[in-house]
């Protein structure tokens, strides 16, 4: 079974940085994509970014472009979300998700079959 484990959340001041990790297991090929999403209280789940595992293609949501960077470590089967210049509005539970198939990058959470448990990021002003 595919499993995802997200970690790295915490409390940080505005302008600071955090790095989240998502460790994946159970895939039988490289044809999948890992997405990062976030959900603040009372708000819909928002696309943050994704990486296709085989090709390493990345794309980001408009609200984080230029501040957040996704990378991967193939040896550790881990995807990282480096978050810089954090703002109070970045406060949310951050979740990683996986979708089998990477030909079409998917920004909608409904397109993902597997989800990790989420990690809380709190940015103080």
Q: Which DSSP string corresponds to 56-84?
A: --EEE-TTTTTTEEEEEETTTTEEEEEE-
Per-residue pLDDT of the chain (125 residues; tens, 9 = 90+): 999 999 999 999 999 999 999 999 999 888 999 999 999 999 999 999 999 998 999 999 999 999 999 999 999 999 999 999 999 999 999 999 999 988 888 999 999 999 999 999 999 99
In 3D space, the residue among 2, 28, 41, 5 whose CA is nearest the CA of residue 118 turns out to be 5
Q: What is the pLDDT of residue 30?
A: 87
pLDDT, tens digit (0-9, with 9 covering 90-100), for 49-73? 999 998 999 999 999 999 999 999 9
């Amino acid at each position: 079974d595919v499993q995802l484990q997200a970690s790295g959340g915490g409390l940080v001041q505005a302008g600071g940085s955090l790095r989240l990790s998502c460790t994946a297991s159970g895939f039988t090929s490289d044809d999948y994509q890992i997405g990062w999403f976030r959900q603040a209280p009372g708000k819909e789940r928002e696309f943050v970014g994704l990486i296709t595992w085989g090709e390493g293609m990345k794309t980001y949501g408009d609200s984080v472009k230029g501040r957040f960077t996704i990378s991967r470590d193939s040896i550790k089967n881990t995807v990282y979300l480096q978050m810089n210049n954090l703002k109070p509005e970045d406060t949310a539970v951050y979740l990683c998700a996986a979708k089998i198939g990477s030909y079409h990058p998917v920004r909608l959470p409904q397109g993902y079959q597997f989800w990790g448990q989420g990690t809380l990021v709190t940015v103080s002003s």
